Every structure is written in C-alpha cells, then in structure tokens.
Amino acid sequence: MSEASAPHAADRRELTAAQRNAVAELLRVSPVADELGRRFVRAGHELHLVGGSVRDALLGRLGDDLDFCTDAHPDETLRIIKGWAESIWETGREFGTIGAQRDGLRLEITTFRAESYDQVSRNPVVVYGTSLDEDLKRRDFTINAMAVSLPDHRFTDPHGGLDDLSAKVIRTPSTPGESFGDDPLRMLRAARFAAQLRFAVHSDVHLAMTEMAADLDRITAERIRDEFTKLLCGADPITGLRLLVDTGLAERFLPELTGLKLEIDEHAQHKDVYEHTLTVVENAVSYEEDGCDFILRMAALLHDAGKPATKAVGSDGRVSFHHHEVVGARLTKARMKAMRYPKEVTAKVTALVALHLRFYGYGRGEWTDSAVRRYVADAGDLLPRLHKLTRSDCTTRNRRKAAQLAADYDALEDRIARIEAEEDLARVRPDLDGNAIMELLGVPPGPVVGRAWKHLKEQRLEHGPLDRDAAEAELLRWARTENLLPE
C-alpha cells in the first residue's frame, strides 16, 4: 500500500482487525485455494482470489462461494481443473467464467476482463483483459477491486479499497461516470451494497447516479430485478430504498415507490405515505424469523401503492383512499410482471396487498365466526405473513391507539386459534366431495358439480362444519331451488 493511500492513525486498529479477519477466513479456504493456485502457476498462468471474496474475507464473512480471476482463457482453465475439480459447469462461459466444486467450496474462475457496454446494448460486451490491474480497474467499486494472489497470498489494492472498507464508503475505481457508463446496473448495485453492508455512497457516486439514472433503461428487467431483490433483502433495505428514490433510479423501474412521496396519509399521522411505507418495511423486517422473507418485504413496500390513484378530499378536508388495496393489488401485479418476477411470487405479494386492510373491519370483535373463517380461508397459507404485514402497518404515533390496535389483533389471532381448535380452518372444504355430489344429484362431472361444491363451501364458511345428514339435506334443498331436481 502506498504512503498516499495508507490509513489515518485512528483507522489503523480497525484495519488491523480487518486484516486479522482476512487471515482467518483465508486459512479456512487455503487448502483448496492454494492448491488451485499452484496448478495454475505450474501451467504458466496467474490466479487471484478477487472481488467480493476478498471484501467478505476482510469483513470476516467469507462464505463457500469463491471468485477467482486469471490470465488463462476458459479452454485453458478447463484443462487445468479437469481431473481435480469434483464437478465442472460452463454456464458462464460466454462471460469467460468456468465453475467448479471442490471440498464443499464453489469456485468461479473468470478470465481477466475489460467488459463494457456499447452505449446501446442491454447486455455487456465481454472483452478479455491482459492483466490483474486492468481487471481490477474495470470492477464496480473499490471495495470489490482488491485481490489476493495464489498461492503466495500477495495482497493487491490499487484503488484504496481497504481504506474505503474501513470508512464504510462506496466509491468507484475509475470516475463514477466512466464506471456507470460501462455498466449502468452499477448504479443499482451501489444502492444494493449500501443496503447490504450499511455503507454510505460517496458524494461523487451519488451525483453520478442522479445525473445518469435514465441510463438504467438500457438494462434488462431481469438484471434489475435480481439486484433489487438483493437490495430489498439487505440488512438495511431502508437506506437502499431512499437512495433509489433520492437519485431518481426508482422512477426508472419502480415509479409506484416515488409516487408515494406526493401523498399525505388519511390520518395525517406521518409526513407522507412514503415515510409510512418505509416504516412498514422496517417493521416487517423485525417480524422475520429466519432470514429475509422477500414476499413479506415486497408486500410491505407496495401495500399502499394504490393510494395516489384513489386519493379523495372530502368536504371536511379529510383525505381518504377508498379501495386503495384493490387498486394497489392490480398495480403490484402489473409492476412485478414487468420486473419479470415468477408468477407464484407475484401472486403471493399481490394477495397480501389486497388483504392488508381486511383486519381494520374487525373493530372490537364485531366479526361473526363466519367472517373469521373467510379471513383465514382467503389468506390461505399466507395467513402468517398477513398477521405480520397487518401488525407492521400500524405505525401511529398515538400510543393509546397503537396499543388498542395491537390488542384487537391479539384478540383476532386468539379467536382464530379457538375456531381452529374446533374446525380445520387450514383446509376449509365442503362437507361433501365431488363424488358424493354426483351420486346424490345423479349428475355427471361438469359445471353443475362445481356450482354445488361452491355453494356447500359457502355454507361451510357461513355456518361451520355440517354433519353428513345436514350437508346432504342442504345440497338437495339447493338443487331444488336451481331446478335440478323434481319437486
């Protein structure tokens, strides 16, 4: 490290700790990494642990996925690892990457690159580089532009990544304009790393993100989706989301979020619906039990997406957003489809948005048992998430009101538990199946059976379980009113 890039005295102790973390982490993977490095050296090539692997080693959080770079081209890499790797895959070959597995570690070995965009293409143009320095310079951020050579463990940090890691700041190796011009997705990645690592974005980077936000339009929806998902699942998604809105990036692919800044909520309890939404996301994170629940976080983010389109001001000056959950569900489905999320994930998030207001009709327990059954049946396997989303949505600063809402929801959950103990609420079905319906009515499979099944399910929701005789009597009564049986 040059004298110019040496850390300030106050930082030396922290950097020493980071270096100790790196030694401990690298010792864990050294048997495989060093052995692989020796194979490349014997073949006349270089091999370096690089990028996120070095960053995470310094942070003491290196996983089992290791990234390497080399001057060897993919065909040469294959020859070097064949017979040594336990398995090999070539799915990233077009980007110069060969994958391998050894002793429980997943290894990705990539030829030095100098990839960039042609300012028109929506995918990177891959050009092989010729040196480690060239490869590090083309990387997104200084904290990802460090390398450890193998097997000699020589540390290379030409852009001050170690200093930035200590300062918890995100900078680019080249100018931000050059870096983002090469790959506009890096702007979104900056926000993602801010969310994942709880780092700040350097002012120059923030300015370039703002000025170049429209360049994100050159990136495919799938690549944007993947980065955004990582951001929302970060340790501090709120920081990342604020960056997206403040720089104008959100407007390029998630305008519903930016639109919330324009709306004051109906209770005038928050500065705006946008701030309320960020609080709901933060609350939802606190309810997670085992890592990121993307479906819950996305539902929290979009639960009020329908408010701008449903805003109305009454004669008394009060603001309302009637049926915003219905409009919000429609907007959520359309936005997630545009971002290429899987249909199953989209359906679950959309359903939670549609259901998030249902509880507010519960009041002080005025719901009938039928209403409780419908609440559970409509939520289905999303009920645990709906509980969390509904509780997260309570952000009032009025302590008495917050306590009352929490008590009301406690009462609803207790009531659901009581009814579940008496009935199988998880699988509300008619008391007669399709075969019994066909036998009693003397009809073949078809629309009539479906209509009868639906009617019996409504009876089940309304009145609870019926015994066999009562269910058969109800079916016959319904069939006569539908003129399906002789009087």
234-253 pLDDT tens trace: 999 999 999 999 999 999 99
Beta bridge partners of residue 70, listed in sequence order: 47, 111
What average pLDDT does this structure show over 357-363?
A: 73
- Residue 219, both tokens: 């990136």
Q: Determine the Cα–Cα distance for residues 416 and 377; give it in Å rounded to an integer.
A: 11
- Confidence class for position 123, pLDDT limits 50, 70, 90: low
User: Which carries the bigger pLDDT value, residue 42 or residue 5?
Assistant: 42
- Confidence class for position 1, pLDDT limits 50, 70, 90: very low
- Show the beta-strand stretches assigned E in 255-345: 312-313, 319-320
User: What tens digit of pLDDT does each residue of 469-486 get?
Assistant: 777 777 677 777 777 765
Q: pTM of the entire structure? A: 0.80
Q: Is the pLDDT of residue 204 over 70?
A: yes
User: What is the pLDDT at residue 100?
Assistant: 97
Q: Is the pLDDT of residue 260 over 60?
A: yes
3-state secondary structure of 107: strand
The share of the chain scoring above pLDDT 90, in percent, equals: 55
Average pLDDT over the chain, rounded to an integer: 85
- Residue 176, both tokens: 């931000």
User: What tens digit of pLDDT does each residue of 43-52 get?
Assistant: 999 999 999 9
Q: Determine the Cα–Cα distance for residues 213 and 243; give it in Å rounded to an integer.
A: 11
DSSP assignment string, 157-214: -TT-HHHHHHHTEE--SS-HHHHHHH-THHHHHHHHHHHHH-PEEPHHHHHHHHHTGG
> Which residue, among 148, 173, 391, 394, has the nearest Cα to 269 in the 3D structure?
394
CA dist 19 → 2, 86, 148 (Å) = 17, 31, 12
How far is it between the farthest Cα atoms of the chain? 100
User: What tens digit of pLDDT does each residue of 409-451 get?
Assistant: 888 888 888 877 766 555 555 556 777 777 777 778 878 777 8
User: What tens digit of pLDDT does each residue of 143-174 get?
Assistant: 999 999 999 999 999 999 999 999 999 999 99
User: What is the pLDDT at residue 156?
Assistant: 94
User: What is the pLDDT at residue 13?
Assistant: 43
Q: Is the pLDDT of residue 126 over 80?
A: no
User: What tens digit of pLDDT does each residue of 424-435 get?
Assistant: 555 555 556 777
CA dist 120 → 172, 219, 224, 251 (Å) = 22, 10, 17, 20
- Per DSSP, 366 falls in state T
CA dist 37 → 43, 47, 125, 149 (Å) = 10, 6, 28, 8
Residue type at 17 in one-letter notation: A
3-state secondary structure of 65: strand
Q: How many CA atoms lie within 13 A of 181 on its CB side?
A: 7
Q: Is the pLDDT of residue 11 over 50?
A: no
CA dist 116 → 126, 129, 187, 432 (Å) = 7, 12, 14, 64
User: What is the pLDDT at residue 130?
Assistant: 87
User: What is the pLDDT at residue 125?
Assistant: 66
Q: Which residues of 85-106 are buried (b: 16+ CB within 10 A; e: fewer)?
A: beeeeeeeeeebbbbbebeebe
Beta bridge partners of residue 402, listed in sequence order: none
User: Which carries the bigger pLDDT value, residue 297 or residue 406?
Assistant: 297
Strand order in the sheet with 155-156: 87-89, 97-102, 105-111, 65-70, 47-50, 147-149, 155-156
Q: How many CA atoms lie within 13 A of 330 on its CB side?
A: 8
- Per DSSP, 123 falls in state S
What average pLDDT does this structure show over 339-345?
A: 97
- Residue 196, both tokens: 């994942």
Q: Determine the Cα–Cα distance for residues 221 and 244; give it in Å rounded to an integer.
A: 16
3-state secondary structure of 91: coil
List, in order, residues 6 or more apart from 483 with CB less than 8 Å away: none
User: What tens digit of pLDDT does each residue of 458-470 get?
Assistant: 777 666 666 777 7
Q: Which residues of 344-362 are buried (b: 16+ CB within 10 A; e: fewer)?
A: eebebbbbbbbbbbbbeeb
User: What is the pLDDT at residue 12?
Assistant: 40
3-state secondary structure of 102: strand
Beta bridge partners of residue 169, listed in sequence order: 200
User: What tens digit of pLDDT does each residue of 46-104 get?
Assistant: 999 999 999 999 998 899 999 999 999 999 999 999 999 999 999 999 889 999 999 99
Q: Is the pLDDT of residue 266 over 60?
A: no
CA dist 164 → 7, 18, 145, 147, 483 (Å) = 10, 12, 11, 15, 78
At CA 392, angle to CA 388 and CA 398, rounded to 5?
Answer: 140
What average pLDDT does this structure show over 200-207?
A: 98
